[in-house]
Amino acid sequence: MSSQKGLEGIVATETSISSIINDQLTYVGYKIDDLAENSSFEEVIYLLWHLKMPTQAELDELKADLTANMNLDTAVIDHLRSYDLSSVHPMAALRSAVSILGLYDKEADVMDEAANQRKAVRIQAKIATIVAAFARIRKGQDPVGPKEDLSFAANFLYMLNGKEPEDVEVEAINKALILHADHELNASTFTARVCVATLSDIYSGVTAAIGALKGPLHGGANERVMAMLTDIGDEENAVPYIKEKIANNEKIMGMGHRVYKSGDPRAKHLKRMSERLTKLTGQPKWYNMSVKIEDFIKEEKGLPANVDFYSASVYHSLGIDHDLFTPLFATSRVSGWLAHILEQYDNNRLIRPRAEYVGPDTQDYTAIENR
């Protein structure tokens, strides 16, 4: 029995939700480029959960359902207030808060398909509110509830900032939400599937997935990209800074990908958004710096920028706190996690691989006083 480190190249499940073939990403067969240019996040949620595009009536119903479920139980808000607001990372707050949500959902352990669909709507809606509410609470502000006539993207910004966003901001967040929604068997989605394949509940699956997304080799990279750009400071410093990191064998955040070798198809959309938004905000240096890093790493190491790289300067330009970048990723990716959880329940088998044992040979037990 031999192992494949990091399960590279292992096909662990079948899915009808998304695919990466020849470096092209599709959701249910629809190209990510078409969806990013033409669709709304709510339409993509529907697509991922039902494996078909919604009619107008179906879309309207989902939108209304999401908005109606965005409000949080006061017990959950009280919980957010009880955290150490000066030090708790918003991803840790989100992970704990989603677990808490499950405690207040009477259907948490009801396993039929209709109940799971209802819980999916509640979780998708409330995650956006938790991220926004926590961000406000830690600034000493009260949480703001959703507005009925706003889209998911607009409501997220409204609940975060307490004022209605500009069209350009809504467009950017809507596109970012679409681009991050699903990605085949990435680490957090696999985590969610492993968890619910034991027939554990949907809240456990999403909580586990948030934990996996938090790490810097996965979703946590976007916050670190911005930390790196901030550290670099100006365009002239970009290449010398990166050269030094490479010389020290350090990884450059937002660069490289397990699956894509020629390039991450989502990155070009975020790159264009970054160029536009950094110009609009009068801070083109974030974009220019990013391009220098991308070109250098491509040339030097042959590695492409991944989805996390340009999302950093996009979110920064939208005035979003840097430690909210990964929670924003989670607000989108939860749609994919939920789709995969429902798919896993639908055709379940326990996920239980084997390990190649490389420890010592059989050993004799020695009583503690003789060791």
Ligand X SMILES: CC(=O)SCCNC(=O)CCNC(=O)[C@H](O)C(C)(C)COP(=O)(O)OP(=O)(O)OC[C@H]1O[C@@H](n2cnc3c(N)ncnc32)[C@H](O)[C@@H]1OP(=O)(O)O
List residues near ligand X by CB under 6 A. Answer: 6, 217-219, 221, 251-258, 301, 303, 306-308
Task: Assess 222 for contact with ligand OAA (CB under 6 A).
Answer: no
Using a 10 angstrom Cβ sphere, with 0-12 exposed, 13-18 middle and 19 or more buried, the burial of residue 335 is buried
Q: Contacts with ligand OAA in 91-150 (CB under 6 A)?
A: none
Catalytic residue among 257, 269, 316, 340: 257
DSSP letter at 370?
A: G
Give the shortest CB-210-to-ligand X separation in angstroms.
14
Residue 251 binding target from ligand OAA, ligand X, none, CB below 5 to 8 Å by type: ligand X
Half-sphere exposure for 277 (CA within 13 Å, toward CB): 27
CA dihedral 257, 260, 265, 270 (to 10 degrees): 10
Structural element, H or E, at residue 167: helix 167-180
Total site size for ligand OAA, rule CB under 6 A: 6
Residues 291-320 that bind ligand OAA (CB under 6 A): 306-307
User: Using CA atoms, how far apart are residues 312 and 195, in angstroms rounded to an integer?
Assistant: 30
Q: Minimum Å distance from CB 221 to ligand X?
A: 4
What's the token pair of residue 143?
């949480």
Quote the DSSP letter at residue 266.
T
Write down the least CB distance from residue 221 to ligand OAA, Å: 9
Residue nearest to ligand X (CB): 256
Task: Please report where in the chains the tokens 């809240």 appear, as a residue.
Answer: 203
Annotated catalytic, 257?
yes
301 is in the binding site of which of ligand OAA, ligand X, none (Cβ under 5 to 8 A by kind)? ligand X
Q: How far is the CB of 133 from ligand X (least distance, A)?
A: 25
Catalytic residue chosen out of the listed positions 105, 182, 264, 308: 308
**258: contact with ligand OAA by CB under 6 A:** yes
217 binds, among ligand X, ligand OAA, none (CB under 5 to 8 A by kind): ligand X
Q: Which is nearer to ligand OAA, 90 or 304 (CB)?
A: 304
**How would you label 167-184 residue by residue, b for 16+ Cβ within 10 Å and e otherwise?**
eebbebbbbbbbbbbbbb
Q: Which CA distances in Å does 88 have to 121, 134, 151, 201, 243? A: 27, 10, 29, 26, 33
Residue nearer to ligand OAA on the CB measure, 26 or 129: 26
Q: How far apart are CA 40 and CA 56, in angstroms?
A: 12
The reply to whether 308 belongs to the active site is: yes
To the nearest 5 percent, what fractions of the chain are helix, strand and coil? 60, 5, 35
* Binds 290: which of ligand OAA, ligand X, none (CB < 5-8 Å by kind): none
Tokens 């029995």 — which residue? 1
- The sheet with strand 18-21 has its strands ordered as 18-21, 24-27, 30-31
Q: Which amino acid is at 297?
A: I
Q: What 8-state DSSP symbol labels residue 163?
A: S
From the list ligand X, ligand OAA, none, pick the one residue 303 interacts with, judged by a Cβ distance below 5 to 8 Å according to partner type: ligand X
Of 63 and 224, nearer to ligand X (C-beta) is 224
Are 19 and 26 a contacting pair, CB within 8 Å? yes
| Residue whose beta carbon is closest to ligand OAA | 186
Give whichever of 153 and 185 is closer to ligand OAA, judged by the CB atom: 185
Smallest distance, Å, CB 186 to ligand OAA? 3
Decide which of ligand OAA, ligand X, none touches 302; Cβ closer than 5 to 8 Å per partner kind: none
Look at the block and give the residue holding tokens 């901030």: 230
Cβ contact 69:48 at 8 Å: no
Minimum CB distance to ligand OAA smaller for 8 or for 84: 8
Question: Pick from ligand X, ligand OAA, none: which does 252 bind, CB < 5 to 8 A by kind?
Answer: ligand X
Task: Give me the least distance between CB of 337 and ligand OAA, in Å please.
Answer: 10
Residues 181 to 210: which contact ligand OAA by CB under 6 A?
Answer: 183, 186
User: Which positions touch ligand OAA (CB under 6 A)?
Assistant: 183, 186, 258-259, 306-307
Catalytic residues: 257, 308
